[in-house]
């Protein structure tokens, strides 16, 4: 993978891996059978243990993480699928989000992605195919806590929909969540791979949300992803089908002229989507652990992520200076509120002080936002 060009990478709408690794015994799972049937031309290789395979696949090549996007491994996940969002960290206000990690790594190559550091020299796309175990675990938890509301997402360690044409998790997840009275599923994505969603007859309890940035940021920092127009057209199609939709302005990146860029983004969004029908918009600033900065600069030398000053926050992550974040949140929130005063807007992984600076309230004093903070 080249790191010496500033032109956008091709949009990966028809992704196919170069090789398919299959854990021994994996073909007994129906999802594995589906994936294999959708990749008839891709060479296969069996393996016994994912950890051993990972070590074997690591090499001295410069961009192991980037090369790993060309390899897909199907295996079992042997731990607990359901976890609390990592937003539960010192000094940060958390929206009580839950995550299930069905796969890891991402076919897209966003410069700011924490997976570059979090997954280390991960040499593969990994997809867990024992979905039946996941659904059994969720059923047990949801039944055990009938009075608790669960908002569950699948987009922490991957994009929720980018591989859905190859690894159709939605075929299993949507029918299950449609039967739940105390849980909703959020599919967080930058993708336009919505064919399976549009073919599904019942959108109950499903929210599809798109991460958005100005097109100039997409071109430079979100390589391989569909553009802003494609994302919004996908959102409109899902809304028309009956799905609930949301948007994440995250990470907000303070490029020169960011005020005009995000004003234009809000205008394009509101001119494309009936904003009154949007469930929420979240706002989050660019943030990173110190070890990620060197990786970003090595893999994405053309990035403009570090043109402003950053300082460590209470959770150890570096963020824009507090006055810069305040100004960005207030400005973009103002753009959105000018188009819909009733729109629910929340801040992602931010301090209580920032909440109060931007909104004049603590999260718990805003009843409209209780859905994001109640268990």
Beta strands (DSSP E) in the chain are 19-23, 44-47, 71-75, 82-84, 92-93, 98-100, 103-104, 109-110, 125-128, 150-153, 183-189, 206-211, 222-223, 244-252, 278-285, 287-288, 310-312, 318-320, 345-347, 350-351
Q: How confident is the model at residue 58 (pLDDT cuts 50, 70, 90)?
A: confident
Residue 66 has a pLDDT of 86
Q: What is the pLDDT of residue 93?
A: 57
Burial letters 29-67, b for 16+ CB under 10 A, else e = bebbebbbeebeeeeeeebeebeebbeebeeeeebbbbb
Q: pLDDT band at 15, cuts 50/70/90?
A: confident
Question: Is residue 178 over pLDDT 90?
Answer: yes
Q: Checking phi first, is residue 247 left (phi over 0); if not, alpha (psi -120 to 50) or beta?
A: beta
- Domains of the chain, CATH where assigned: 19-372 (3.80.30.30)
Q: Residues 50, 73: contact at Cβ < 8 Å? A: yes
* pLDDT average, residue stretch 12-32: 90
| 100 vs 130: CA distance, rounded Å | 13
3-state helix, strand, coil in the chain (%, to 5): 40, 20, 40
Question: Residue 213: is its pLDDT beyond 60?
Answer: yes
Per residue in 284-303, pLDDT (tens digit) is 999 999 999 999 999 999 99
- pLDDT above 80 for 268: yes
Q: What is the 3-state secondary structure (H, E, C) of 236-289?
A: HHHHHHCCEEEEEEEEECCCCCHHHHHHHHHHHHHHHCCHHHEEEEEEEECEEC
Q: Tokens for 200?
A: 């599904």
Residues 6 or more apart in contact with residue 271 via CB below 8 angstroms: none
Q: Evaluate if residue 320 carries a pLDDT over 70.
A: yes
Neighbours of 159 (CB within 10 A): 23
CA neighbor of 193 nearest in space, from 157, 231, 242, 223: 231
Q: Is the pTM of this model over 0.75?
A: yes
The pLDDT of residue 122 is 77
| pLDDT for residue 282 is more than 90 | yes
Whether the predicted pLDDT of 119 surpasses 80: no
Helices (H) and strands (E) in the chain, counts: 13, 20
Per-residue pLDDT at 54: 87
Please state the rounded mean pLDDT for residues 229-244.
97
The model's pLDDT over 337-349, given as tens digits with 9 standing for 90+, comes to 999 999 999 998 8
Task: Please answer whether residues 226 and 15 qualify as being in contact, where contact means their C-beta atoms are separated by less than 8 angstroms.
Answer: no
pLDDT of residue 305: 97
pLDDT band at residue 365 using 50, 70 and 90 as cut-offs:
very low
Contact of 138 with 144, CB cutoff 8 Å: no
Token pair 């960011």: residue: 258
Percent of the chain having pLDDT more than 90? 73
Q: 40-54, 58-72, 81-95, 123-137 — which is least confidently predicted?
A: 81-95
Q: How far apart, in whole angstroms, are the C-alpha atoms of residue 226 and residue 232?
A: 10
Check pLDDT > 60 for residue 10: no
Output the average pLDDT for the chain: 89
In the predicted model, is pLDDT for residue 315 greater than 90?
no
Distance CA 198, CA 187 (A): 14
Over residues 89-111, mean pLDDT = 80
CA distances from 262 to 167, 251, 368 (A): 34, 12, 24
DSSP string, 130-171: -HHHHHHHHHHHHHH-TTS-EEEES-SSS-SSTTTTTS-THH
What is the pLDDT confidence band of residue 208, given thresholds at 50, 70 and 90? very high
The conformation of residue 73, written as its DSSP 8-state character, comes to: E
């Amino acid at each position: 993978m080249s790191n010496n060009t500033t032109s956008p990478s091709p949009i990966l709408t028809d992704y196919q891996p170069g090789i398919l690794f299959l854990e021994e015994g994996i073909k007994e799972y129906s999802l594995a059978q589906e994936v294999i049937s959708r990749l008839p031309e891709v060479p296969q290789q069996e393996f016994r243990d994912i950890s051993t395979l990972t070590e074997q696949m690591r090499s001295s090549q410069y961009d192991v993480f980037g090369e790993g996007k060309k390899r897909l491994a199907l295996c079992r996940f042997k731990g607990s699928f359901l976890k609390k969002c990592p937003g539960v960290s010192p000094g940060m206000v958390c929206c009580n989000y839950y995550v299930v990690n069905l796969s890891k790594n991402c076919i897209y190559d966003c410069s700011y992605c924490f997976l570059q550091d979090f997954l280390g020299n991960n040499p593969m796309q990994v997809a867990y195919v024992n979905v039946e175990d996941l659904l059994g675990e969720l059923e047990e938890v949801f039944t055990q806590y009938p009075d608790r509301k669960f908002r569950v997402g699948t987009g922490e360690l991957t994009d929720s929909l980018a591989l859905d044409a190859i690894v159709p998790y939605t075929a299993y997840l949507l029918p299950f969540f449609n039967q739940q009275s105390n849980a909703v599923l959020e599919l967080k994505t930058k993708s336009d791979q919505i064919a399976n969603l549009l073919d599904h007859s019942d959108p109950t309890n499903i929210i599809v949300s798109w991460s958005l940035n100005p097109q100039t940021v997409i071109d430079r920092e979100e390589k391989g992803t569909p553009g802003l127009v494609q994302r919004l057209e996908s959102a409109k199609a899902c809304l028309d089908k009956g799905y609930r939709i949301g948007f994440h302005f995250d990470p907000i990146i303070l490029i020169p002229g960011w005020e005009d860029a995000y004003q234009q983004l809000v205008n394009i969004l509101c001119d494309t989507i009936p904003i009154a029908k949007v469930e929420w918009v979240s706002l989050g600033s660019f943030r990173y652990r110190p070890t990620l900065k060197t990786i970003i600069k090595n893999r994405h030398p053309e990035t403009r992520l570090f043109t402003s000053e950053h300082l460590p926050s209470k959770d150890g992550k570096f963020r824009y200076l507090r006055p810069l974040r305040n100004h960005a949140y207030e400005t973009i929130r103002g753009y959105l509120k000018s188009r819909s005063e009733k729109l629910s807007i929340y801040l992602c992984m931010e301090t209580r002080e920032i909440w109060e600076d931007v909104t004049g309230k603590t999260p718990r004093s805003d009843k409209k936002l209780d859905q994001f903070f109640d268990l």
